Every structure is written in structure tokens, then in C-alpha cells.
Structure 1
Amino acid sequence: MSFLQLEGKKFLIVGVFNKKSIAYHAAKCLEQEGAECIYVVKDDGVKEKVRQFIPDANIFSCNVEKQDEIENLYRDISTLHTKIDGMLHSIAFANFSEGLKPFHETKKKDFLQAIDISCYSLINLSYAFKDILDKNASVVTLSVPFTKIAVETYGYMAPVKAALESSVVYLAQSFSQFSQVRFNVVSANVIKTSSAAGLPDYIKLSLYAESLTFRKKAIETKEIANVITFLLSGSSSAINGQSVVADAGMIVNLFDREVLEIFYKNKIGIDT
């Protein structure tokens, strides 16, 4: 028996968009361990794109902003599967079509839409599928390591992710009243995904985040997928209601010596 004990388990994978998606890499890890993945994507257009590189996958479409589509999703999946062993929630959206603005200029409709898609959808999907979630199921979602510090480039998504992290704690408590279902967050460093690339000044943010890691090397999507796979497995049974930071030390290395030396050289023109 393997350490992860994932053979024969079934997982909902919500949020695959392309081969760069964290959800796609996590699904591949799960399948390599013998698990079965049920894919949920935004709409039929994305469904057809995903089917091109996962031709034999069981794929459903669901716009999480629409309650009827979530209800239909549950009906369709529960008809085929009477039990699922966990879910990966890997969806987020923020409207930066007008470019990066100061936080206080955030439009109400944009903020509420981001909350709905990026945060409330986890609550809504968890509730919708609670009757077929195994009593020991694991639910994992994705955040970022800087919800408690101001990272202007990330815009208003950091406060949205903070709400998501708090929701995970409350879901863990709420579900504990009738099950042993666990909820956890993986707070991932900036990595090369299509959604991250949509952030204003993404390249600058990515390079800076890499320079702050202890290893001076960017986080790879596969590494985040490995953490997700562990948290979805029964081997992580003692972890619940937690935010697991996977950033190679970035968030605790903000005053890195090399970065400080570069700053001073550029700022005051002297060699430190």
C-alpha cells in the first residue's frame, strides 16, 4: 500500500483551464497515484479545449456564478457517482480590464464578483456536494502567501483570498458537526499560470518573488500539485482548517541580503 493511499479514490477537480493550470497538474499527480478525477470547468468552450489534452476525461461544465448550474452539476455527477473522496477548488477571477488601480478605487461590482467566484463558490460547491462527500473526504483550495501584507500588484485579490482562507476555517468547523471532512488551503507563491499572468505587472512580481526565496529559484507548478495531492490524501488526516504555505520561504525572507544590496546600489548609487 502506498503512503498516500489514493488508489481507487475519486476527486472533483474544479478549475482546469489549460495545461498550465495548477488544477491540471494536481489531477495528473492524483491519477498517477491511482485516483480518478472528475473535471469541472467554467463552460462548454473551455470544456472542448480541455478535452483536446485530456480526451478520455469525465468533464462537466459549470459557471459557479449561477446557482442553477451548480445544482445541475450536483445532479449530473451524483447520478454517476454516489461517493467522492475530495475536491480541489482552483478557481479565481478579478476584473483588471481597466488596469491596476489603487485599492480604494475598487468598484463594488468587481469586488463582489471576485468574492462570488473566488470565495463563495467554495462554500456553495461544498454545500451542494456534502451528501456524496465521503465522511473522511478532503477539500483543498488555493490562496497566496500575502493576504496579510500589502502587495499592490496583486490588487484587490489578496483581500478576496483572505476571505477564502477564513471561509476554510469556518467550513472545517461547520462540517465537523456531521463528518470528518477536512478543509485546507495551499498558499502558493507566484507561479506561471494563465490566471497569474493576467495580474498587472506579473513579470515584475514573479521575478521579485523568486529573488526572495531562500533557494533563489521559482516555485514550479508541479511542486504545488504535490502539496495539494498530499492534502487530498488520507496521509494528511491531522491537518484541518489550515493554510499551508508553499513559497520556498519567500514570505519570511522579505529582507533578503542580496535583494537589499541591489536596492541600495540602485537607490543611492553606492556599493554596500
Structure 2
Amino acid sequence: MDFLGLKGKKIVVFGLANKKSVAAHVGKVLTESGAEVIHVVRSEQRVAAARKLFPDSQVYTCDVEDEANIIALRDEIQEKNAGPIDGLVHSIAFANYSQGLKPFQQTVKRDFLQAVDISCFSLIAIANHFSSLLSRQASVITISISSTRMAAENYGYMAPIKAALESSVVFLAKSFSAFSEVRFNAVCPGLLKTSASAGIPGYIDSYLYAEKATFRKRALQTSEAANVAAFLLSSRSSGMNGQCLIVDAGMGMNYYDAEIVGKVVS
């Protein structure tokens, strides 16, 4: 039985960098479910990786920092594909700590605004320019984080930007409701083992701590976040709109775990 009903659905996935990417895991689940996945990567250098992982998928490039590229991408996808798009996956985030990691109040304005543009505004721009291609009941999802109010020093200014991203999900859901039933939701995973996260200073220590803070004492897998993404892209989640689904294996509710407390006070 095709429980998710994704077979034959056309879904565009933005953000694949390599096999560890959230976008790659989402693409894998969708492909296994029979969906037709179209991948969009940031640069020509990433095209080869995408085609190796998904030899049967179309692969396009788009630098979302330039809105004209998003428009050109839309036109190219429309020209080469018949029928509407049933889903969009926005798995894009970028932060340039040009002067190194600094206390939050010393955040460099140029870096912050560029990160907002790429990590948050790109979702709004993609939704806007692809609106004419979307089926009436399409599903759009983005990838956020499990808590935008956790002041993790080594995450720098990205948590406030993810908060803006999550707020944008709600406003997009509202604005699209005026002319369609397109849904917008966010998958909010806990700490994952991806190449992008490995570049965050001190991330490994945070990752190991997060693993101990989960109820099951086993780290969250990227595939688990991808499974939730597939659900949100399917008609099985038709009653969900403007939501942020936390996927953290209980980490956010386990502040007073006896094992962790014991190590601190011993």
C-alpha cells in the first residue's frame, strides 16, 4: 500500500550538497516512495554529486542569493516538465563568519543580512516565483532547528534567522490561502551529523551532549528528519499548515536527565 501517496508526485528539492545533506536524505525517501524528484544545487561543483546520488533525477543549479536566478530556474523547470509541481523542499542555510565567531552583540551586519537573504528570504522568493507552477494542494517545507530560543553560543546569529524562517512559514501559509490550498510547514530537527554542521565551532561536543540528552540515548538520524519531511509533503498531512514539527528524540524535554546532572555535580 502506498500510504503516503507520493508515487508520481513531482517535487523540487533545494539544497543538496553531498550524501550527508538533509536534502539528500529527503530526496532518497521521496525517490523510494515513487516520487519524481528534481534537485536544485547551489553550484556546478555540486551537480556531479547530485547526479551520482540520483542518476534518474533532473539536476539544476541556482544561486538563491540572486533572485533573477530563481526566476530563470522556474522558467527552465517549467519548460522541461509538463504538469504542476506537487511539492517544494527548502533545505538551504548559509552563514559567513567573516571575522570569526563573535559574541552576539558584535555580529557583523553584512554577514547577518547575507545569512537572512540566503537562509530565510530565499524561501519567500522561491514560493513567490514558483507559485504559478504549484498544484492547488501542493506542500512546501523548509528545514529549521529544534529550538530557536536556545542560546547556543557556537551557533552564532543563525538561531534568530531560523526564527525568522519559521515566522515566514506562517505568513506564507496565510498569504497563499487567499488563492490556493498550498501548505507551508517546517521540519525542526535536533542536532544532526551533516557536513554543514561539522563546520560549526564546537559542534561535535554539542552533538555528543545532545545524544545524551535524548530519551533514548541515541543520536537523532538525518533519515528520521527526512521521514517527517516526506510525511509533510504527502496528502496524509493535509490538515497541517503553518506548523513547525520538532524532531529531536525528546532532547528538548530532558534538561534534568539524571545521567547528565550526575556528571555535573559529581
Q: Is the counterpart of residue 125 in structure 1 residue 122 in structure 2? A: no
- Note the alpha carbon deviations across 1:7-52, whole angstroms, 9 max, x for none: 1100000000000011111111111111000000001111133223
Q: Deviation at 1:97?
A: 4.8
Structure 2 equivalent of residue 211 of structure 1 = 212
Letter in 2 for 1:63: D
Structure 2 equivalent of residue 66 of structure 1 = 66
Gap regions ≥5 residues in structure 2: none
Structure 2 equivalent of residue 83 of structure 1 = 84
Please say if residues 99 and 200 of structure 1, whose CA atoms lie closer than 8 Å, have aligned partners that are also in contact.
no
Q: Using the alignment, how far apart are the partners of 1:176 and 1:40 within structure 2?
A: 26
Q: Is the counterpart of residue 33 in structure 1 residue 33 in structure 2? A: yes
Q: Deviation at 1:99?
A: 3.0
Q: Deviation at 1:158?
A: 0.3
Structure 2 equivalent of residue 268 of structure 1 = none
- Note the alpha carbon deviations across 1:176-197, whole angstroms, 9 max, x for none: 0000000001110111111111
Please say if residues 96 and 199 of structure 1, whose CA atoms lie closer than 8 Å, have aligned partners that are also in contact.
no
Q: Deviation at 1:53?
A: 3.0
Please say if residues 153 and 205 of structure 1, whose CA atoms lie closer than 8 Å, have aligned partners that are also in contact.
no
In the superposition, the TM-score normalised over structure 2's length comes to: 0.97
Change (3 A) 1:200 1:227: same
Structure 2 equivalent of residue 262 of structure 1 = 263
CA RMSD of superposed structures (Å): 1.1
Pairing 1:44-59 to 2, within 5 Å after superposition: 44-59=44-59
Please say if residues 14 and 88 of structure 1, whose CA atoms lie closer than 8 Å, have aligned partners that are also in contact.
yes
Identity %: 51
Structure 1 equivalent of residue 199 of structure 2 = 198
Pairing 1:145-224 to 2, within 5 Å after superposition: 145-224=146-225
Please say if residues 93 and 118 of structure 1, whose CA atoms lie closer than 8 Å, have aligned partners that are also in contact.
yes
Structure 2 equivalent of residue 108 of structure 1 = 109
Q: Deviation at 1:149?
A: 2.4
Structure 2 equivalent of residue 42 of structure 1 = 42
Q: Using the alignment, how far apart are the partners of 1:87 and 1:96 within structure 2?
A: 29
Q: Using the alignment, how far apart are the partners of 2:109 and 2:98 within structure 1?
A: 15
- Per mean C-alpha deviation after superposition, the further-off stretch among 103-112 and 50-59 is 50-59
Q: Deviation at 1:62?
A: 0.3
Q: Deviation at 1:54?
A: 2.6
Letter in 2 for 1:102: P
- Note the alpha carbon deviations across 1:151-181, whole angstroms, 9 max, x for none: 1121110000000000000000000000000
Q: Using the alignment, how far apart are the partners of 2:142 and 2:135 within structure 1?
A: 18
Structure 1 equivalent of residue 230 of structure 2 = 229
- Note the alpha carbon deviations across 1:65-124, whole angstroms, 9 max, x for none: 012111110100011223100111001001135432110111001000110000000000
Secondary structure of 2:112's aligned partner: helix
Secondary structure of 1:30's aligned partner: helix
Q: Using the alignment, how far apart are the partners of 2:229 and 2:67 within structure 1?
A: 27
Please say if residues 214 and 249 of structure 1, whose CA atoms lie closer than 8 Å, have aligned partners that are also in contact.
yes
Q: Is the counterpart of residue 3 in structure 1 residue 3 in structure 2? A: yes
Q: Using the alignment, how far apart are the partners of 1:200 and 1:100 within structure 2?
A: 8
Letter in 2 for 1:169: V
Q: Using the alignment, how far apart are the partners of 1:264 and 1:2 within structure 2?
A: 51
Secondary structure of 1:227's aligned partner: helix
Please say if residues 209 and 250 of structure 1, whose CA atoms lie closer than 8 Å, have aligned partners that are also in contact.
yes
Letter in 1 for 2:229: I
Aligned length: 265
Q: Using the alignment, how far apart are the partners of 1:22 and 1:195 within structure 2?
A: 10
Structure 1 equivalent of residue 144 of structure 2 = 143
Structure 2 equivalent of residue 240 of structure 1 = 241
Gap regions ≥5 residues in structure 1: 266-272
Please say if residues 114 and 160 of structure 1, whose CA atoms lie closer than 8 Å, have aligned partners that are also in contact.
yes
Please say if residues 98 and 111 of structure 2, whose CA atoms lie closer than 8 Å, have aligned partners that are also in contact.
no
Secondary structure of 1:144's aligned partner: coil
- Per mean C-alpha deviation after superposition, the further-off stretch among 76-85 and 120-129 is 76-85
Letter in 2 for 1:135: R
